[in-house]
Amino acid sequence: MTPQRGGRWRDHRQVINGIVYRVRTGVPWRDVPERYGSWKTLYKRFTRWQEDGTWARIEAMLQADADTAGDL
């Protein structure tokens, strides 16, 4: 049996909630409450998604939905 690297990813919703908490409050990554998971997990996922364009795609989709609904 070949050893596998890493484990299962923490739930995306929990991580996104932690990232949103950090962005809204401005606290350092290390001070995000543990209920959102490890600060290292939050930071790594945030930077990975920033680098691969995930956040930009989410923003574009939200803007398109708001525009379609007449909210912009």
Q: Is the pLDDT of residue 11 over 90?
A: no
Question: Would you say 18 and 36 are in contact if contact means Cβ atoms under 8 Å apart?
Answer: yes
User: How many CB atoms lie under 10 A from the CB of residue 17?
Assistant: 16
17: Cβ contacts below 8 Å, ≥ 6 apart: 36
pLDDT-derived band at 7 (thresholds 50, 70, 90) equals low
Phi, psi of 66 (to 5 degrees): -65, -35
What does the block give as tokens for 68? 């379609």
- Closest residue by Cα to residue 43 from 71, 18, 67: 18
Is this structure's pTM higher than 0.85? no
- 3-class SS of residue 44: helix
Q: Where are the domains of the chain?
A: 12-68
- Residues 29-51: tens digit of each pLDDT: 999 999 999 999 999 999 999 99
